[in-house]
Amino acid sequence: MKRNGKKFPKGFYFGASTSAHQVEGGNKNDFTEQEKEVCDIRAKNYREHYTFQAKILGREPDWKSIEKEASDPKNYISGLACDHYNLYEKDFDLACKLGHNSHRFSIEWARIEPKEGKFDKKELLHYKKVVKALRKRGIEPFVTLWHFSLPIWFQKSGGWLRKDADELFTRYVEKVVSYLKDDVKYWMTLNEPMVWAADSYLLGIFPPEKKSFPTFLKILYRLGRAHISAYKVIKEIDENAQVGLVIDNPYFEPYKNRLYNRVIKFIADHIYSKSLLFYVRNSLDFIGLNHYFHNVVNFGFNKKCCGKINDMGIEMHPKSMYHAIMELCSFHKPVYVTESGTADREDKYRAWYIREILKNVLNAIHDGADVKGYFHWSLLDNYEWDKGYWPKMGLIKVNFDTLAREVRDSAYTYTEIIKNNGF
Ligand code: BGC
């Protein structure tokens, strides 16, 4: 690899990411059920709700600028979201104008299979149109098959704990992939199994709101199995398909490089970041890396960070991206950065962050990492799960009353980098 440090490899994918429940609107799934139950309490206790996370992250957000939205129950109802379900052509026009040559989105299982065993052809057709709309604009689709939200029937009957969960998931995958295979090459089976399993079965935040360590472990195993089975069926349908799993690795930095912190880092890396990948390594064409966190480990605790802080109280530490990528090199698989972004309602830091993150991606490439694409989170402001609408992560600002879109200045910084294929 030529170490000029400035340009991305030829054919590098530049795009942005979204997920169905966060942008489409009009969904009916386990999250929409939960939202009705918890919106009032979340609005009332928005600070307490976030305190635990803030402790892990190290900082509280600046509540002054957020509290109006955060204390409104409507903030916690996904509802119409960005109405991307209907406005996707317009959104892809914007992505195209911004120079994106690829786009990552997810398919909503609850739309495709609203009742167990009953598949909705209209919805399959909808996603076909979505994929065609991308292709028409010269944008390569990267499709996630499961991004957190589940059909109500599946969740109510035990969800991933059902003995036949992997068969049910694979049957859904088979339907979708057979239908879209002519227009989609890149598939991602599951998004961030660790985050979802922890939020749903350890912390009790996502549905089904359980708090049990043994069940959390069981769920992870089930998700790994589901990935392997889905991988197999996708390859049977299309041997040229590229199939990946999306993980959410932070960079665990050992404080002052002390020996005991290095030991803790080693354990955290191997349990949190690498165990699932190791389990599925023989059923994996690429790794999707979502990267947001820099965790400085000091005796097992996350040390308070001191860098730039975003609206969610998360430290923005671009160098972490370099490490998170390099730490995946031992798997010898191509890596796509499937998410990286920051909550920044004033658009004060995003341009800087994008630039610095991409420089670190480049450094990793020049140091031998096989990175093939970068997808910014997110194309649009969207519904940020238990936090609702107050975090603003879009390259494109969305007015949730009028649904008007407005491209943020930082989006053009990204476009400049894309145009130059680097710096
Ligand atoms: C998830 C996204 C989420 C993003 C920003 C990731 O964990 O995949 O759905 O919106 O982080 O918090």
pLDDT digits (tens, 9 = 90+) for 158-167: 999 999 999 9
pLDDT at 1: 43
How much distance in Å is there from the Cα of 116 to the middle of ligand 1?
A: 27
pLDDT at 407: 99
Asked if pLDDT for residue 418 goes beyond 70, the answer is: yes
> pLDDT tens digit string along 200-225?
999 999 999 999 999 999 999 999 99
C-alpha neighbours within 13 Å on the C-beta side of residue 11: 3
pLDDT at 195: 98
**For the packed helices 409-420 and 350-366, what is the interaxial angle rounded to 10 degrees?**
20
Residues facing 16 on adjacent strands: 103, 376
Q: What proportion of the chain, given as a percentage, has pLDDT over 70?
A: 96
State the Cα–Cα distance between residues 150 and 171, nearest whole angstrom: 14
> pLDDT tens digit string along 72-94?
999 999 999 999 999 999 999 99
State the Cα–Cα distance between residues 104 and 198, nearest whole angstrom: 24
Ligand 1 atom closest to 195 (CA): 7
pLDDT at 304: 65
pLDDT, average across residues 236-246: 98
pLDDT at 2: 45
Q: Give me the torsion for CA of 293, 297, 300, 306, rounded to 10°.
A: -80
> pLDDT tens digit string along 243-269?
999 999 999 999 999 999 999 999 999
pLDDT, average across residues 325-331: 98
SS3 labels along 297-365: EECCEECCCCCEECCCCCEECCHHHHHHHHCCHHHCCCEEEEECCCCCCCCCCHHHHHHHHHHHHHHHH
Mean pLDDT of the chain: 95
Nearest CA to ligand 1 atom 10: 384
How much distance in Å is there from the Cα of 350 to the middle of ligand 1?
A: 16
In one letter, which amino acid is 183?
A: D
Strand intervals (E) in 166-221: 186-191
Pocket test for ligand 1, best of 56, 377, 389, 395 (most atoms within 8 A of CB): 377
3-state secondary structure (DSSP) of residue 234: helix
**For the packed helices 213-237 and 165-180, what is the interaxial angle rounded to 10 degrees?**
30
How much distance in Å is there from the Cα of 21 to the middle of ligand 1?
A: 11
How much distance in Å is there from the Cα of 211 to the middle of ligand 1?
A: 21
Contact 138, 101 (CB under 8 A): yes
Return all residues near 105 (Cβ < 8 A) that are at least 6 apart.
17, 18, 19, 20, 130, 141, 142, 143, 144
Asked if pLDDT for residue 49 goes beyond 90, the answer is: no
pLDDT, average across residues 335-346: 98
Q: How far are the Cα atoms of 169, 189, 375 from residue 289, in angstroms, in the given order?
A: 22, 13, 10
Q: Which residues line ligand 1 (CB under 6 A)?
A: 19, 22, 191-192, 195, 248, 290, 339, 377, 384
State the Cα–Cα distance between residues 16 and 375, nearest whole angstrom: 4
Asked if pLDDT for residue 3 goes beyond 80, the answer is: no
State the Cα–Cα distance between residues 212 and 12, nearest whole angstrom: 42
Pocket test for ligand 1, best of 105, 191, 290, 344 (most atoms within 8 A of CB): 290
Maximum distance among all alpha carbons in the chain? 58
pLDDT at 50: 79
How much distance in Å is there from the Cα of 104 to the middle of ligand 1?
A: 13
